[in-house]
């Protein structure tokens, strides 16, 4: 699917919701808990089942997740028990860059 910046996405296996902050210009498969995520522009998704084993590490509210190689950045707006992945590769939690020391 082709995602756009500002689009809200929801998991179909847990309560995770994200906003796309930065999107690649190519089609991607965005998943949470091993199941495809759906756009909220289509309405509220039906949550059924549970995250797949190995894809149940959880998503943290207010944290950013990024794949810099692909150019994808997501902001979690609702926490959930599923882990985010793009094209089968887990998306890592974005770490803040340290500020330079001021002496």
Residues 6+ apart with CB under 8 A from 28: 1, 2, 3, 70, 72, 86, 87
Domain presence at residue 14: yes
Alpha carbon distance, N-terminus to C-terminus of the chain? 49
pLDDT level of residue 103 (50, 70, 90 thresholds)? low
Which pTM does this prediction carry? Answer: 0.89
Tokens, residue 44? 């509220």
Domain extent at residue 40? 8-93
Domain presence at residue 62: yes
pLDDT of the residue at 4: 94
Domain presence at residue 56: yes
Contact between residue 36 and residue 16 where contact means Cβ atoms under 8 Å apart = no
**What digits encode the pLDDT tens for the residues 23-74?**
999 999 999 999 999 999 878 888 888 999 999 999 999 999 999 999 999 9
Distance of CA 54 to the CA centre of its chain: 16
* Overall number of domains in the chain: 1
């Amino acid at each position: 699917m082709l995602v756009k910046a500002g689009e809200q996405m929801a998991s179909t296996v847990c309560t995770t919701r994200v906003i796309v902050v930065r999107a690649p210009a190519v089609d991607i498969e965005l998943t949470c808990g091993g199941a495809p995520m759906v756009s909220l522009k289509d309405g509220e998704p039906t949550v059924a089942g549970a995250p797949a084993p190995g894809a149940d590490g959880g998503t943290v509210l207010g944290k950013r997740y990024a794949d810099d190689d692909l150019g994808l950045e997501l902001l979690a707006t609702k926490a959930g028990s599923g882990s985010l992945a793009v094209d089968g590769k887990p998306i890592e939690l974005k770490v803040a860059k340290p500020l330079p020391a001021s002496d």
